[in-house]
Structure formats: structure tokens, C-alpha cells
């Protein structure tokens, strides 16, 4: 276990929808008709015989972000299948990156000068939207809208360097500034979500994951609640279990979803439908030429 010096340890996994016109592996539009299940095709629905084709613009956008976050760039782009059985992914696997992310070992500086480590940045497809008519906990059935399925995402995984809910919110603010400068994210309509991993010293840093928090304020609220909940559990001599929880923004609470999975539970395998893409020096150079001066550079 990593040695921590803080009483609270937080890491974020942030999913950002890239502002491309079409989906990651097909030509379906990412925006347009909002009638459920109308912006779909054989590929994003995972029908037998359909073949994915990589969206070049999404790779360029993801490369911009990796460079802005000072990441080491992978020489190859390799996609894997993340296997899981759930209604938001009709083919029962999500195309993502596992073994070799596009970017790794980056950093993002907060306003106070503290640098937050970036473990990895990788590309993946968005699952479908699940609609729970009376909330996640109370609904007896779920509706699925596959319009969003296959939209291009980048996932940013931070090191566990954040030491308070306020610092996590500040990180998100700085990240949004970078995204705005790069013009790869639609600030008005784009989706940005975070999964937060949080642990406290009193539980010997037993990690709890909170899934799918939307909005900067909600990230801070969810983390404040979860830190206080864990401290109360310890105070009453209850053991903190390694688990995945969900955030209910209306009630302002987290609740247990399941015992935490490990990466091995997803049974990653290389996706044989997608060829390896070489990330050449020329491609990186061309992307760099089209990057604007970032906020911290202007300030300097």
C-alpha cells in the first residue's frame, strides 16, 4: 500500500465527452434527434457482423489533452474489450484502452502551485443512458436509450494526490479551463462525470469508490458526505468495507451499490476488430501546431 501523509486521500476518474460530430467507431451523429434510440446503427448497437472504424478526430482531440497534461505519449493506439453484462452496453463489452493508454505520467497544476499527478489518459466509448423512472434505488425497471452509446470519451485517472473535497473541486475547475482552451469539449452540452475514490486514515485507507457524480459542486458535496460518513462509521466501531457506492444528489447521500470489482473482473482482451494505430512523431507535431497557448502559459 502506498504510504500517505494526509488524513484524507482522494483520486478521481473523470470521463469527458469529446466534441466530435460523429461517434467513436461509426458515423452516427453525436448530437441531433433526442428521441430515444434514433441516433444508432448496427455498429454502436453491437449487432453481429458489424465492424468498428476509428474516428480520427477523436484521436487528435485526445492527443491534445495528453500533451496539455504533460503526458508521455504511447507509440501505439491499442483498444481492448472490457467485458461486462449490463443493459447500457448491448454487445456486453465496452471498447476501451487497458494495457497501453494513450497518455501516462502527466500532471495538472492547481492555482496554489500544487501538482496533481495524472496516472493515465485513455480513449473509450460511452455506454448508453439508463433512465430510472423514480430514482436508482426505488425504480422497479429501467429504460435504455442507446443514442449516447458509442460517443467518444477520454478518461483521466489521477494519482491519489488530492487531500480534500475542496481540492478535488479546484482540480476540476483547472481541468475545465484546459478543455475550454483546447476546444475539444462542449461546455454547454457536453457530458463530464467523475468517479471518486476516497479513503481516510482512521480506516487504514480502505478505498471507497463513488460512481457517476456530475458537476463540480456535486463532486465536492459527495466527497464531504462520504468522508463524514466513514468517520461516523469508525466512531461507532464499524468496519469500512472496500465497496462501490452511488451518489444521490437529491437526498445528498451515498448508498452501497456492490462490493468493489477489480480490473481482473472485467476480463480485458485485445479487440481484434480494430487494428493497431501508430502514433507517429509527425502526428504529434501536427497536433501540437494546432494547440493554443494554455492559461498557465499566458499567465507566465
Helices (H) and strands (E) in the chain, counts: 5, 16
Q: Strand 143-145 to strand 80-83: parallel, antiparallel, or no bridges (unpaired)? A: unpaired
- Quote the cell numbers at residue 242: 472496500
Q: How many residues are there in the chain?
A: 300
Helices 56-68 and 281-289: crossing angle in degrees, nearest 10, is 70
Q: Residue 298, exposed/middle/buried by CB under 10 A (0-12, 13-18, 19+)?
A: exposed
Q: Strand 243-248 to strand 208-214: parallel, antiparallel, or no bridges (unpaired)? A: parallel
Long-range contacts for 208-213 (Cβ within 8 Å, ≥24 apart)? 208/240, 208/242, 208/243, 208/244, 208/245, 209/243, 209/244, 209/245, 209/260, 210/244, 210/245, 210/246, 210/247, 210/254, 211/244, 211/245, 211/246, 211/247, 211/257, 212/246, 212/247, 213/247
Q: In this predicted structure, what is the pLDDT of residue 261?
A: 64
Q: In this predicted structure, what is the pLDDT of residue 231?
A: 94
Q: How far apart are CA 56 and CA 141, in angstroms?
A: 38
Q: In this predicted structure, what is the pLDDT of residue 297?
A: 75
φ/ψ bin of 272: left (φ > 0), alpha (ψ from -120 to 50), beta (otherwise): alpha
Q: In this predicted structure, what is the pLDDT of residue 42?
A: 96
For the beta carbon of residue 132, count every other beta carbon within 10 angstroms: 13
CA angle 65, 126, 46 (to 5 degrees): 135
Q: In this predicted structure, what is the pLDDT of residue 260?
A: 62
Q: In this predicted structure, what is the pLDDT of residue 1?
A: 45
Which residue numbers in the chain have pLDDT < 50?
1
Q: How far apart are CA 233 and CA 236, in angstroms?
A: 5
Amino acid at each position: 500500500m502506498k504510504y500517505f501523509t494526509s488524513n484524507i486521500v482522494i483520486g478521481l476518474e473523470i470521463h469527458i465527452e469529446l466534441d466530435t460530430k460523429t461517434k467513436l467507431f461509426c458515423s452516427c451523429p453525436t448530437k441531433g434527434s433526442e428521441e430515444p434510440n434514433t441516433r444508432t446503427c448496427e455498429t454502436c448497437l453491437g449487432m453481429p457482423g458489424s465492424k468498428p472504424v476509428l474516428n480520427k478526430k477523436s484521436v487528435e482531440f485526445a492527443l491534445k489533452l495528453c500533451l496539455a497534461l504533460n503526458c508521455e505519449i504511447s507509440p501505439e493506439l491499442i483498444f481492448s474489450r472490457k467485458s461486462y453484462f449490463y443493459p447500457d452496453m448491448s454487445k456486453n463489452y465496452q471498447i476501451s484502452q487497458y494495457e497501453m493508454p494513450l497518455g501516462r505520467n502527466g500532471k495538472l497544476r492547481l492555482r496554489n502551485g500544487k501538482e496533481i499527478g495524472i496516472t493515465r489518459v485513455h480513449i473509450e466509448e460511452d455506454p448508453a443512458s439508463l433512465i430510472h423512472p423514480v430514482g436508482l434505488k426505488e425504480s422497479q425497471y429501467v429504460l435504455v436509450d442507446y443514442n449516447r452509446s458509442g460517443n467518444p470519451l477520454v478518461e483521466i485517472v489521477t494519482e491519489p494526490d488530492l487531500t480534500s473535497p475542496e481540492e478535488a473541486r479546484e482540480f476540476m475547475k483547472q481541468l475545465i479551463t484546459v478543455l475550454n482552451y483546447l476546444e475539444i469539449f462542449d461546455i454547454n452540452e457536453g457530458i463530464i462525470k467523475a468517479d471518486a475514490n476516497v479513503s481516510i486514515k482512521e480506516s487504514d485507507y480502505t478505498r471507497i469508490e463513488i460512481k457517476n457524480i456530475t458537476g463540480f459542486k456535486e463532486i465536492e458535496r459527495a466527497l464531504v458526505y462520504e468522508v463524514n460518513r466513514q468517520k461516523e462509521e469508525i466512531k461507532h466501531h464499524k468496519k469500512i468495507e472496500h465497496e462501490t457506492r452511488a451518489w444521490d444528489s437529491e437526498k445528498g447521500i451515498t448508498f452501497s451499490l456492490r462490493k468493489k470489482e477489480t480490473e481482473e473482473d472485467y476480463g480485458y482482451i485485445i479487440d481484434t476488430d480494430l487494428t493497431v494505430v501508430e502514433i507517429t512523431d509527425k502526428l504529434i507535431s501536427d497536433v501540437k501546431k494546432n494547440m493554443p497557448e494554455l492559461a498557465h502559459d499566458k499567465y507566465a
